[in-house]
C-alpha cells in the first residue's frame, strides 16, 4: 500500500507512507508521473481517476493497457497482479491518493470495492470533522484492513467517532455513544478476564484480532469480526481504531444448520452444547487445530481445492481420534474433545496427525497446521474458559511456527 500526498505548489502526488514491496525506484516513478494535471494523463493511467474522483480497479496488471509500460514492468517484477487506486479529497480538492497492490489476480471484487468506498467516505469525513486527529496516520492504519464498522476512541476508551455502520448494527446514534466506552455494546458472553486481557494488549500497543459477541441497543446479540489498532499520534496521545465486519447473519445461519455443510462435522454452537452435556468426572483434552494460511491456499488453488482439503482434514481427525467428538468451529479451525489418560498419549496422537497432514496427497508442502490444547478439569471446569485457554495455547503454537503444538499453562497468561 502507498499513500501519496499532493504537493500544493507543484500538484505532484508525492509518496509519503508506503508499505510492502515499494522500493525507492518505484516511489520515484510514482512521484515523476502521478500529477493532478490533465497533461499527465498520457504518463500515468491513474491520473484520469485522480482528477475525476473515481476508483481505478485493475484485476490483472498483465492484461491491462498501461499508458506507461515502465510502471507496469516494475509492478510485475515485484509480483503484483492487481491494483486498487483512489483519491482522497479534502474541502473539495485533491488531498491524497491511495494505491493498494496485491500479488493475486482478481483480488478486488465488488465486496472489497464496497468496503474501500466506505473507507474513503469515512476518511474524508474524519479529515473534515476531526482536526485534532493525525490524519495521515489514520489513513495508513485504517486502510491496512478496511472493514465496514469503524469506531475510534481516545486513550481512555471514550468514543470520538463512529461511522454509519456502527449506528446501523448497534441501533445507537452517534450522539448516544459519543464520550462513552465500547462497553456500551458489552454482552454477557465474554467474561471480565477476557476484556481485561484484551485491554492490556491494546494498551501495550498490540494489534488484536478477535470475534466479539455484543448486544445492540435493544438487547439483541450481534457478532463482529474485529481488528483493534492502537495508534500513538505525534503529539503523544494514544487512540484506538476498531475495524470490524458484522458476521451475525452467517453465525445465525450456521447455528441453525447444526452441522458444517462441507465436512459434515458439528458446527461450533452444537459442539459447545455437546461439551456442556458430555463433560463429567473423566479427564478430557480440548484440542484446537488451525490450518495456517488457509485463505491464501484458497486464493491460489480455488474453492474446490479448499473444500477438498477441509474434507481430508475431517477424515484425518476422525482416523486419529476415533472415539472423540470433532467439530469444524471456524473457517480454518477444527476442535476435538477426547478422553485421555496422559499428556504423552495426547502428544502422540497430535504427532500422528501432523505427520498425516504433512503427507496429505495433493496437498504435500502446500499447507501446515498448529494445535492448542487445554485439559479438563485440570485447566478449567468452565466450558467458555476451557475454550479460551485452548485458543491461548494455539496462539503460542502459531508463534513457534509450522506444525507446532502447545499445551495451556498459567505461564501463557504472562506472555
What is the residue whose three cell numbers read 487445554? 374
Helix (H, G, I), strand (E, B) or coil at 374: strand
- Choose among 339, 301, 337, 294: nearest CA to 317: 337
Give yes or no for a contact between 385 and 275, defined as CB atoms under 8 angstroms apart: no
pLDDT of 145: 45
Average pLDDT over residues 332-351: 94
Residue 29 in this model has a pLDDT that exceeds 60: yes
Distance CA 393, CA 374 (A): 7
Return the domain boundaries, the chain: 2-107, 142-249, 258-414
Of all residues in the chain, what percent carry a pLDDT higher than 70? 93
Length of the chain: 415
- Choose among 81, 171, 99, 80: nearest CA to 139: 99
Average pLDDT over residues 245-262: 79
Distances (CA, A) of 319 to 45, 228, 322, 338: 55, 39, 5, 13
Give yes or no for a contact between 299 and 336, defined as CB atoms under 8 angstroms apart: no
Give yes or no for a contact between 281 and 267, defined as CB atoms under 8 angstroms apart: no
Distance CA 360, CA 291 (A): 13
**For all residues of the chain together, what is the average pLDDT?**
87
CB atoms within 10 A of CB 194: 15
The two beta strands, 56-58 and 368-376, are: unpaired
**Is the pTM above the cut of 0.75?**
no
The answer regarding whether domain 258-414 maps to CATH 3.30.70.270 reads yes
- Determine which helix (DSSP H) or strand (DSSP E) holds 226, and give its type and residue range: strand 221-232
pLDDT of 130: 57
For domain 2-107, which CATH number applies: 3.40.50.2300, 3.30.450.40, 3.40.50.1100, 3.40.50.720?
A: 3.30.450.40
Average pLDDT over residues 301-329: 90
Lowest-pLDDT range, 250-259, 266-275, 300-309? 250-259
Q: What is the pLDDT of residues 78-91, one digit of tens each?
A: 889 999 999 999 87
| DSSP code, position 221 | E
- Choose among 165, 135, 107, 136: nearest CA to 4: 136
Residue 20 in this model has a pLDDT that exceeds 80: no
Lowest-pLDDT range, 130-134, 183-187, 238-242, 367-371? 130-134
Helix (H, G, I), strand (E, B) or coil at 80: coil
The set of residues, in sequence order, having a beta carbon less than 8 Å from that of 183 and lying 6+ positions away, is: 157, 195
The set of residues, in sequence order, having a beta carbon less than 8 Å from that of 19 and lying 6+ positions away, is: 1, 2, 140, 144
How many Å from the N-terminal Cα to the C-terminal Cα in the chain? 31
Between 343-358 and 303-320, two packed helices, what is the crossing angle to 10 degrees? Answer: 150
Average pLDDT over residues 216-243: 90
Distance CA 411, CA 121 (A): 44
Average pLDDT over residues 105-123: 89
Give yes or no for a contact between 190 and 208, defined as CB atoms under 8 angstroms apart: no
Q: What is the pLDDT of residues 139-193, one digit of tens each?
A: 545 544 445 788 899 999 999 888 888 888 999 999 999 999 999 999 878 888 8
142-249 in CATH: which number? 3.30.450.20
Same fold, 2-107 and 142-249: yes
The H-assigned helical ranges of 161-293 are 164-170, 174-177, 192-203, 248-257, 268-278
Lowest-pLDDT range, 109-113, 302-306, 411-415? 411-415
Amino acid at each position: 500500500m502507498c499513500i501519496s500526498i499532493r504537493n500544493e505548489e507543484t500538484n505532484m502526488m508525492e509518496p509519503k507512507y508506503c508499505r510492502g514491496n515499494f522500493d525507492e525506484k518505484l516511489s520515484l516513478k510514482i512521484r515523476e508521473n502521478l500529477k493532478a494535471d490533465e497533461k499527465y494523463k498520457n504518463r500515468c493511467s491513474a491520473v484520469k481517476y485522480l482528477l475525476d474522483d473515481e476508483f481505478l480497479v485493475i484485476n490483472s496488471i498483465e492484461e491491462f493497457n498501461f499508458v506507461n509500460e515502465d510502471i507496469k514492468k516494475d509492478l510485475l517484477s515485484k509480483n503484483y497482479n492487481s491494483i486498487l487506486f483512489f483519491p482522497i479529497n479534502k474541502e473539495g480538492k485533491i488531498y491524497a491518493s491511495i494505491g493498494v497492490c496485491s500479488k493475486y489476480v482478481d483480488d478486488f471484487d465488488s465486496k472489497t470495492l464496497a468496503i474501500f468506498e466506505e473507507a474513503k467516505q469515512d476518511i474524508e469525513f474524519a479529515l473534515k470533522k476531526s482536526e485534532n486527529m493525525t490524519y495521515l496516520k489514520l489513513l495508513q492504519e485504517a486502510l491496512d484492513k478496511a472493514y465496514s464498522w469503524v469506531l475510534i476512541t481516545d486513550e481512555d476508551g471514550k468514543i470520538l467517532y463512529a461511522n454509519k455502520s456502527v449506528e446501523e448494527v448497534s441501533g445507537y446514534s452517534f450522539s448516544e455513544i459519543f464520550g462513552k466506552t465500547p462497553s456500551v455494546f458489552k454482552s454477557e458472553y465474554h467474561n471480565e478476564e477476557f476484556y481485561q486481557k484484551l485491554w492490556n494488549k491494546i494498551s501495550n500497543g498490540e494489534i488484536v484480532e478477535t470475534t466479539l459477541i455484543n448486544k445492540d441497543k435493544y438487547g439483541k446479540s450481534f457478532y463482529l469480526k474485529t481488528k483493534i489498532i492502537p495508534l500513538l499520534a505525534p503529539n503523544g496521545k494514544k487512540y484506538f481504531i476498531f475495524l470490524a465486519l458484522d458476521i451475525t447473519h452467517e453465525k445465525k445461519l450456521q447455528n441453525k444448520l447444526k452441522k458444517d455443510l462441507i465436512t459434515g462435522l458439528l458446527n461450533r454452537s452444537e459442539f459447545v452444547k455437546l461439551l456442556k452435556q458430555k463433560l463429567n468426572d473423566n479427564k478430557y483434552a480440548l484440542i484446537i487445530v488451525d490450518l495456517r494460511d488457509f485463505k491464501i491456499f484458497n486464493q491460489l488453488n480455488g474453492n474446490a481445492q479448499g473444500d477438498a482439503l477441509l474434507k481430508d482434514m475431517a477424515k484425518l481427525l476422525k482416523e486419529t481420534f476415533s472415539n472423540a467428538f470433532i467439530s469444524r468451529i471456524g473457517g480454518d479451525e477444527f476442535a476435538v474433545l477426547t478422553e485421555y489418560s496422559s499428556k504423552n498419549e495426547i502428544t502422540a496422537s497430535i504427532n500422528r496427525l501432523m505427520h498425516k497432514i504433512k503427507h496429505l496427497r495433493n496437498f504435500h508442502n502446500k499447507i501446515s497446521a498448529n494445535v492448542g490444547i487445554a485439559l479438563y478439569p485440570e485447566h478449567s471446569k468452565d466450558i467458555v474458559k476451557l475454550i479460551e485457554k485452548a485458543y491461548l495455547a494455539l496462539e503460542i503454537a502459531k508463534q513457534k511456527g509450522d506444525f507446532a503444538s502447545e499445551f495451556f499453562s498459567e505461564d501463557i497468561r504472562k506472555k
